[in-house]
Structures are given as C-alpha cells and as structure tokens.
Amino acid sequence: MYNPLLGTNIRAWAAVLEKEKGYARNTMLSYLSDFDQFTQFMQGHLGEEPTIPLLLSLKKTDFRAFFAKKLDDGGGKRSNARYLAALRSFYGFLKDTGAGECPGVDKITLPKFNIHLPRTFSIDEIDAVLKRLAQNSWVGMRDVALFTLMYGAGLRISEALSVKPEHFREENWLHIIGKGNVERRVPLLPRVLESVRAYMKVCPYALTQGSPIFRGLRGGVLSRTQGATALKAVILELGLKDNLSPHALRHSFASHLLENDADLRSIQELLGHKSLSTTQHYLDIAEKTIIESYDKFHPRFRK
C-alpha cells in the first residue's frame, strides 16, 4: 500500500494515461506494474516508505541501482527501457501537475538494444496463401477476406476481427478503432472490398449492426487464436517460414508500400502509429530488401 498522497497521484497519473493520452488499458496497467516494482525496490534500497518528496529526491545512482538489480534478476535491456519509460511518464506527470521535479531521472540513459526487424511475407507468398485458402466453402472465403483485409489495409488481427458492418459506412473507406480506442480511416482497394463482401454474402449467420462480421463455425465471434491457427495451417502446408504470423501481414503491408516509394508519414497514418519512430523500423526492412535484390540481380556483380 502506498501512503495517501502518493496513492492519489498514482491514480491520477493512471487516469491521465488512459483518458487523456489514449493509452491502451494494458499499457497503462503495465506502467503501473513497473512503477510498483520500482517503489518496492526503493523501499528496500533506502530503508523507508516511498513518498512523493522521497521519490523527487532520488539521484542518478539510485535509479542506476534499480536498473542494475533488474539485470541481475535476469531482465534485459528492453525491459529496462520499458521501466524507464514508465518512470519518466510518472515524473513527467508530477512536473506537469506542479508536484515537483526530479533531476536524477532526466540524467538516466540506457544502452541501446537491438531491434529485431519484423518478419514479412513476400508478395508471391501472400498470393500463394490466398490462393490456397480460396475455396467454395464460406469458411475458406472468410479466411481469404480476413487475411486480404489485414494485408490490404495494414490491420492488426485484433482490429480486423473487431470490424463490424457499420465500419464500412463510407464507400471505399474503413473506420477502425485501434490502440487506445483511437479511430482512424483507411482506404480499401477494390480487391479487398470484393473479398469482404463476397464472404459477408455467403456467411450463414446474420451479420447485424454492432456485431463483428468474422464468425466461427458455430456462429460465435472468430477469436485471435482461431484466425492465427488458420493462417499457420496454410503456412505449414506451403512450406513457408514457420516464424511468420498474422502480424507479419501488417508488416508486409508497410514494407511493400515503402518498397514502392510510399512516404513514411502516409504509412504512419495508415498504420495508426502515434510516433514516426515506430514506423521508421520499416525503413530497415526496405533497405535490407534493396541490398538483397542488388546482390542477387546485379548483372555484373551478382553473387
């Protein structure tokens, strides 16, 4: 339990994260958990109960001790980066509300960690997956519609599975509720619309307003596990890389747009990324693809 003043500030901070900044609830809860681990460590480290004045008085060495302990416990650089993000958010909240500043937290820098590039499908692999799924059954048409929508509009699987009839209220546009309940509009190419409409026409269950369109065999809302399993089965049948996942369709959407000269800002808007730095990871994919193509196809120097 926190002392009353600290507890009040933590609850107010959580409300700001979720309601004003639009963080997803899971992200907000992760920040709270990270901060709780930090205060527990500081109680043992300093030998007294954490309070607002105490937290504001912490020095760079105190923060360093926390991150060192996390590494000793088996944590990694990525985990420490997440802890630091949570701490900077809380201390930023204290500064914004006039509670005080902590110079120590601003002096913390952490070693950079390697960013693993997202796995992607090639265009031929996507065509092969959709061709293998194409069949006369409504389930096959459902899977084609789902994966065409994810790749054609750059959707997360959770976003695609939440699509309802009313989200198609504009011709050739889809309204999506993404992370943090932020709505965005994404354009729909004719092939994507055709696949979705073809499935909706043959689905044996009533697709009413307010209910997701993608259904399981018994009519219930299709789950992420069911969707992922359907894709994984086709990947194995085709002998494709077994580390491909539904999210790779979204990554493929972004990297293929970049390879065809789409600008980064437009891709950021289409993906619903708050920060351009998140979208910039796809530049690395595009650069890697260019280098591989150069090595393979240069008429004089190909390997």
Count of all residues that appear for the chain in the document: 303
Which of the residues 142, 215, 256, 273 is marked catalytic?
273
Best CA proximity match to 186, nearest among 285, 273, 281, 283: 273
Q: Are 286 and 258 in contact, with CB atoms under 8 Å apart?
A: yes
Among 265, 289, 262, 284, smallest CA distance to 275 is for: 265
Closest CA to 104 of 65, 36, 57, 67: 57
Residue of 70, 167, 250, 256 with catalytic role: 250
Q: Does the active-site annotation cover 78?
A: no
* 45 noted as active-site residue: no
d(CA 23, CA 93): 14
Nearest-5° Cα angle at 216, 213 to 220: 75
**In this structure, which long-range contacts are made by residues 135-140, counting pairs with CB atoms below 8 Å and at least 24 apart in sequence?**
138/199, 138/202, 138/203, 138/204, 139/217
Of residues 21, 119, 164, 247, which has the active-site annotation? 247
179 catalytic? Reply is yes
Q: Which of 179, 232, 274, 281 is catalytic?
A: 179
Determine whether 190 is exposed, middle or buried from the number of CB atoms within 10 Å of its CB (0-12, 13-18, 19+). Answer: exposed
In angstroms, the CA 162 to CA 223 distance is 10
Reply yes or no on whether 250 is catalytic. yes
282 is catalytic: yes
Torsion of CA 104, 109, 110, 116, to 10 degrees: 130
State the catalytic residue, choosing from 142, 156, 215, 256. 156
The CA-atom distances, in angstroms, between 233 and each of 137, 160, 161, 215, 246 are 17, 19, 19, 18, 12
Nearest to 50 by CA among 4, 107, 115: 4
298 counts as catalytic: no
Residue 63 CB neighbour total at 10 angstroms: 20
**N-to-C CA span, the chain:** 64
The residues that are catalytic are 156, 179, 247, 250, 273, 282
